Amino acid sequence: MHSFTRLLLVLLPAISFSHAEVVKKTTPEPKEEVKKDTPPPAAVSTVSIDDLSGFETYPKQVQSLVQSALALTRLELGYLFGSHEPSKGGMDCSGTVYHVLKFQGLKDVPRQSDEMCQWVEKKTQLHLTPTATSFDSTEFTDLKPGDLLFWTNTTETKRKLPVTHVMIYLGKLKKTGKPTVFGASDGRSFAGQRRSGVSVFDFHLPKAESTTRFYGYGPAPGLQPVEAKPVIATTTPPPIEKPAPTPAPAAPPAAAEKPAVTKEEVRKAVASVPGAKAETKPEPKKTVVAETKPKETPTVSTKPKTTTVKKSSPPSTTTTKKKSTPPPPPKSEIERKIDNAVNSVRRFLGR
């Protein structure tokens, strides 16, 4: 019994050691966690402003934008998805463009590439290139240094606007005449070498068989003052200005209207002038009975003397004066009728 116990004590360490070896071999080793905030090693390229054709003719705001972009290419920053801060050691494509535009003092800069495209379309002008196959196409006529460039379907996306990549156009190189862009990428090339990180790249259009497409370009809102659009002259000739009509001479002041003068006033006025005759219309032929005074004797003449007034001769307005007594005014027709009636009565009573 004691010998068996001693045998177990001798074999037990060996059994435990072999079991530990088996467990060690069958249990997988834990993998080392990859830090997501650490970008892969950078492989970048850069150029100077002297390498860009016509840099001195760029607007000052664009010159500042290009200089700050080229300064980032010298920091050896890698491509880090979701970052827009150089302090993290890398940035992604939209984060790189966002950082440069904010550094220029632009406000309301979107963070995603599709939002930047809509921002340009709304605030300035987005030039679409749906049929362009080369840079000689008329669709690239308005491309200028400093413009934002947009691509679609570079990665899988569920965005309504499938813009997934953005960069900045720097211009053409003096030596080669090739267009050059700035941004962040992990797979594009410059001068035939694959680049990764915040760098300069050759500007290539996607191949026809590729699902990726170049979408369009446009100036960043607020980078340059908005230029007034030229007014297109119309073919309609301007209206001919008619000479102003010559004002008619002022009419002389109208003479004050004289009050209407009645015929009676004219007759009285003429009568008051010695030797003047009043203008009167000839009265129709009437029989005028001369006034006669009765004699002291009761006998009265049966046939009164009557005088007729001719049509051509108007009645005389003058009468013979009796001493200093003025002549009585002519009697009216009614008075004359009354006198005739009185004379008739007298003659009747005298018989």
- Given this model, what pLDDT does residue 348 score? 73
Whether 125 and 148 have beta carbons less than 8 Å apart is answered as no
- Given this model, what pLDDT does residue 18 score? 47
- Given this model, what pLDDT does residue 34 score? 40
- Given this model, what pLDDT does residue 90 score? 96
Q: How many domains does the chain have?
A: 1
Residue 135: give the domain boundaries: 49-218
- Given this model, what pLDDT does residue 81 score? 94
The answer to whether residue 165 sits within a structural domain is yes
User: Distance between CA 190 and CA 193 in Å, rounded?
Assistant: 5
Q: What is the layout of strands, in order, in the sheet containing 127-128?
A: 127-128, 213-218, 148-152, 163-172, 179-190, 193-202
- Given this model, what pLDDT does residue 30 score? 41
DSSP 152-215: E-SS----SS-EEEEEEEEEEBTTT--EEEEEEEEEEEETTEEEEEEEEEE--PPPTT-S-EEE
Residue 300's alpha-carbon distances to 244, 297, 343, 350, in angstroms, are 92, 8, 9, 7
The answer to whether residue 102 sits within a structural domain is yes
What's the sign of the alpha-carbon dihedral 127, 130, 135, 139? negative
Whether 218 and 139 have beta carbons less than 8 Å apart is answered as no
- Given this model, what pLDDT does residue 17 score? 45
CA 167 to chain centre: 35
The backbone region for 153, taken as left when phi is positive above 0, alpha when psi lies in -120 to 50, beta otherwise, is left
- Given this model, what pLDDT does residue 6 score? 59
User: Distance between CA 150 and CA 216 in Å, rounded?
Assistant: 6
- Given this model, what pLDDT does residue 3 score? 57
The answer to whether residue 266 sits within a structural domain is no
The answer to whether residue 60 sits within a structural domain is yes
Whether 193 and 185 have beta carbons less than 8 Å apart is answered as no
- Given this model, what pLDDT does residue 25 score? 45
- Given this model, what pLDDT does residue 183 score? 98
The answer to whether residue 74 sits within a structural domain is yes
- Given this model, what pLDDT does residue 54 score? 97
- Given this model, what pLDDT does residue 84 score? 96
Q: Are strands 90-91 and 148-152 parallel, antiparallel or unpaired?
A: unpaired
Q: How many CB atoms lie within 10 A of CB 191?
A: 14
Whether 91 and 102 have beta carbons less than 8 Å apart is answered as no
The answer to whether residue 290 sits within a structural domain is no
Per-position pLDDT tens, the chain of length 351: 555 555 555 555 554 444 444 444 444 444 333 445 677 889 999 999 999 999 999 999 999 999 999 999 999 999 999 999 999 999 999 999 999 999 999 999 999 999 999 999 999 999 999 999 999 999 999 999 999 999 998 888 888 999 999 999 999 999 999 999 999 999 899 999 999 999 999 999 999 899 999 999 999 999 987 665 554 544 555 666 666 666 666 655 555 554 554 556 545 554 554 444 444 455 555 544 444 455 555 544 455 555 554 555 555 554 444 456 667 777 778 888 888 887 877 777 765
User: Distance between CA 120 and CA 223 in Å, rounded?
Assistant: 11
- The single residue listed with the structure tokens 């970048």 is 44
Nearest to 151 by CA among 184, 198, 114: 114
Residues facing 307 on adjacent strands: 288
The answer to whether residue 336 sits within a structural domain is no
The answer to whether residue 22 sits within a structural domain is no
Question: What CATH number is associated with residue 150?
Answer: 3.90.1720.10
